[in-house]
Structure 1
Amino acid sequence: MSVNREKVRFASGDAECGAWHYPGTNGGCVIMAGGFAVTKEPGTDPFAHRFADAGFTVLAFDHRRLGDSGGRPRQVVRIKDELADWNAAIGFAATLPGVDPAKVALWGFSLSGGHVLHVAARDRRVAAAIAQTPNADCQAIVRNAARYQTPLAMLRLTGRGVIDALGGLVGRPPLLVPLNGERGTVAFLTTPDALETDKALNPGNRYPDWQQEAAARFALSLGFYRPGRDASRITCPLLVLVCDQDRSALVAPSVAVADSVARAELIRLPGGHYQPFLSGHEQAVAAELSFLRRHLLDQPPADS
């Protein structure tokens, strides 16, 4: 496993994003970030090391107000700011040594997989994109999540979201809620997949600094984020990887995204939301590396 990486920082909006830079050798660059309130180490390490070992430069970053990145108040997730962080990361990646600005790809999973769809649809600097078990339609995700939660716990989460949002207006510290939990507990996600979060992303508490909480106010806005609706605007090659038993991000919205993008490829794996981090890891890595090599490195045939 490659350990050749260095910490770097780049400006985004009113803060700086902290990132790992893995130097590459082939001119291609993969920009990566974790899912909802997932920092770069648990969210990207297993894949980033493999991409770097294959010769790609990797820039794995934390969104603002999370992990090594700056910004306050801490643990507040704002979609607009995170999308701006991706745009800033693309600009910064083009300045890294050995990177061909025409060979920059995006990689994200879950919420950041939705970000990848949104950014790839709008930023023509993106040469290729990988959306792994993406949150393509958060409205559908919210409806589905309700099936795995009790009405009382949902009401309590909404109440905390309202209290947190109002408190934020007057400068109070964020009211934090666990990212995942058992059915009946107040948490953002209580699907069967949620119970595998630590096994998949933080085995043996490998990343003790990862704060698995976020400001409750995010519960009020998640259902309005539907990045898959604009996927037909994506012109670069897109790899969509879905897991057929995904009970968190859902399969159907992601398959619809792949169907709507002219240059999309769809990979289906058995298993739940985190299967690419578990027993499906090798299959996922192989598919993603094949995609990156074909679309960032292969040269088109010369005109005859």
Structure 2
Amino acid sequence: MRREDVEFSSEGTTVRGWLYRPDVDAGTENVPAVVLAGGWCYVRELVMPYYAEAFAALGIAALVFDYRNLGVSDGEPRQHLDPWAQIRDYQNALSFLERADGIDPDRLGAWGISYSGGHVLVLAATDPRVKAVVSQIPVVDGYRNMRRVHGGVGYRKLWDAILTDRRLRYEDPAKRLYIPHASETPDTELSSWPFPETRTTFAALQATEAPLYQNRSTMESVDLLLNYDITPFADRIYDTPTMVIVAEGDDITLWDLEIGVYNRLPTAKKELVVLPHTTHMTLYSDRSKLDRAAAHASRWFAAQLLGAPAATSG
């Protein structure tokens, strides 16, 4: 395979990424492609290249990109996470792929993890160009997610910070608060995702493969997360082949909510994969678990975009 630096415009902002192209003989037909983007504060180097390489090895191109405001992409304010703007970045990535040489515009897929796992379910419901989706450990209901992971007292503190930020931005639109992505001491330091293992895992990934990752977002990003709910879109996924991959016992993005959304999908073209003895964060820190998830996703895209026989999960 080969990797190309690419960029495209998303609502006037330049978004940059990598396009992984499979090795194919000159003159062969165009290949299918999958678009990939990450979760909370992710940059393109964070585990996504492993999945892109797995797809390219099958003969499927893969576009990995940084959302606006993150990593190598343009956009202000930096580290601002607007989920609906990120979904539009996905849509514009699809528009880029439709026009890319060597790509079959009628065989496009979308893959997402954590926050973007929810995004691709919205795409499955709203963008008919998407012919197959893999949603991995998705955020499906920001409000319920934040209430549970922060607990009663922590949720009060979170709301105090959100209201302080709202007042600050009202008084001076040039000012805003920032909040850590995660903290090793969540009892004493407020963060968006209060799990020590989240902080240590992403710190290790930043040191080894994703130096542009930053452990912070705008406070407004959490404000927007509280209004993020993909449940109404699940009822509209009646034809798009959709795989949902959850981690057994995931208490970060809440596997019970994820399975509940899967059960709402009216399509018969769906599959639920539950990864045993796996947590949300070991899908980043344990290469064997990442490989297993990538194998399931590869099998799904091969079946839906290449017409390969779909083996049963296990």
What is the TM-score of this pair, normalised by structure 1?
Answer: 0.89
| 3-state SS in 2 of match to 1:41 | coil
Aligned to 2:214, which of 194, 211, 214?
211
CA distance in 1, matches of 2:125, 2:84: 15
Cα distance change of structure 1 residues 52 and 105 upon mapping to structure 2, 3 Å threshold: same
Unaligned runs of 5+ in 1: none
- Name which of structure 1's ranges 170-179 and 64-73 shifts more when overlaid on structure 2: 170-179
Preserved contact between residue 106 and residue 130 of structure 1 (Cα < 8 Å): yes
What is the DSSP-based 3-state SS (H/G/I as helix, E as strand, rest coil) of the residue aligned with 1:29? Answer: strand
Deviations 1:74-100 (A, max 9, x none): 111112211111111111111122111
Contact 2:206 2:213 in 1 (8 A): no
Residue 183 of structure 1 pairs with residue 181 of structure 2: no
Change (3 A) 1:34 1:141: same
Q: Aligned with 1:100: secondary structure?
A: strand
Q: How does the TM-score come out when normalised to structure 2?
A: 0.86
Structure 1 residue aligned with 2:110: 106
Question: In the aligned structure 2, how far is the partner of 1:58 from the partner of 1:113?
Answer: 16
CA change 1:280–1:231 in 2 (3 A) is same
Local SS of the residue matching 1:101: strand
Q: Which amino acid aligns with 1:219?
A: V
SS in 1 for 2:104: coil
Partner of 2:119: 115
Once the two structures are superposed, residues 267-302 of structure 1 have per-residue CA deviations (whole angstroms, 9 ceiling, x without a partner) of 0012211333323122111111111110001179xx
1:154-233 aligned within 5 A: 154-169=155-170, 170-181=172-183, 182-184=185-187, 185-191=189-195, 194-195=198-199, 197-198=201-202, 202=205, 204-233=207-236
Question: Counterpart of 1:266?
Answer: 272
Could you report, residue by residue, the CA deviation over 1:230-268 in whole angstroms, capped at 9, with x for unpaired residues?
212112100100001211111122212222221110000
Mapped to 2, the partners of 1:193 and 1:260 lie a distance apart of 31
1:17 is aligned to 2:15: yes
Query: CA 1:117–1:193 in 2, change beyond 3 Å: closer, same or farther?
Result: farther
Contact 1:117–1:228, Cα closer than 8 Å, also in 2: no
Deviation at 1:157, TM superposition (A): 3.5
Deviation, 1:104, is 0.5
Q: Residues of 1 paired with 2:169 and 2:77: CA distance?
A: 9
Instruction: Give the length in aligned residue pairs.
Output: 294
**Is 2:3 the counterpart of 1:5?**
yes
For residue 67 of structure 1, what is the aligned residue in structure 2? Answer: 71
Q: Distance in 2 between matches of 1:165 and 1:43?
A: 34
CA–CA distance in structure 1, aligned partners of residues 252 and 105 of structure 2? 34
1:209 aligned partner, one-letter code: L
Further displaced range: 100-109 or 20-29: 20-29
Amino acid at match of 1:266: L
Percent of aligned pairs sharing the same letter? 28
Quote the Cα distance in structure 2 between the aligned partners of 1:289 and 1:299.
Answer: 11
The residue that corresponds to 1:55 in the other structure is: 59
1:293 matched residue in structure 2: 302
Find the counterpart in structure 2 of residue 124 from structure 1. Answer: 128
Instruction: State the distance in 2 between where 1:77 and 1:44 align.
Output: 18
User: Aligned partners of 2:45 and 2:38: how far apart in 1?
Assistant: 8
Answer yes or no: is the 8 Å Cα contact 1:160–1:217 preserved in 2: no
What is the CA-CA distance between 1:171 and the residue it aligns to? 2.8
Distance in 2 between residues matched to 1:214 and 1:244, nearest whole Å:
28
CA distance in 2, matches of 1:51, 1:196: 28
Which residue does the alignment assign to 1:284? 293
